[in-house]
């Protein structure tokens, strides 16, 4: 993309992502200070949010390689796996099986 101008929409999207990443780092730091007492609902929620963000990041990587990334981060993880990853993997497996015949 060298030499191409960045649109204001792209600039804003990068700023929003950077803002989210900064807030996520703050939450991770605070979680470390709170400890791992999951009987505290606030701590449990913070850990669940962090775990979900990690899962979304890994699913984005896998979907980029084996599926599609046409899904919002808010989509239920089961739907992401089924519709945007597994479906493509099943198709690839079926295609590979037909080639072996």
Is residue 16 situated within a structural domain?
yes
| Cβ neighbour number for residue 18 with a 10 Å cutoff | 10
Summarised one tens digit per residue, pLDDT across range 54-100 is 999 999 999 999 999 999 999 999 999 999 999 999 999 888 777 77
Structure tokens at 85: 């990853």
Number of domains in the chain: 1
Is residue 67 situated within a structural domain?
yes
Is residue 3 situated within a structural domain?
no
Is residue 12 situated within a structural domain?
yes
Print the domain residue range for 24. Answer: 8-100
Section 48-52 average pLDDT = 88
Q: At what angle do helices 41-66 and 8-34 cross, to 10 degrees?
A: 140
Tell me the CA distances in angstroms from 14 to 6, 11, 77, one per residue in order: 10, 5, 24
Is residue 50 situated within a structural domain?
yes
Is residue 1 situated within a structural domain?
no
Is residue 58 situated within a structural domain?
yes
């Amino acid at each position: 993309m060298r030499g191409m101008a960045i649109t204001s929409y792209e600039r804003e999207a990068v700023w929003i992502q950077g803002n989210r990443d900064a807030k996520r780092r703050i939450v991770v730091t605070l979680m470390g200070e709170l400890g791992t007492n999951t009987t505290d609902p606030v701590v449990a929620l913070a850990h669940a949010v962090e775990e979900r963000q990690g899962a979304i990041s890994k699913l984005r990587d896998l979907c980029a390689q084996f599926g599609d990334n046409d899904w919002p981060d808010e989509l239920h993880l089961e739907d992401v796996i089924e519709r945007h990853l597994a479906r493509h993997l099943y198709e690839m497996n079926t295609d590979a099986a037909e080639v072996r015949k």
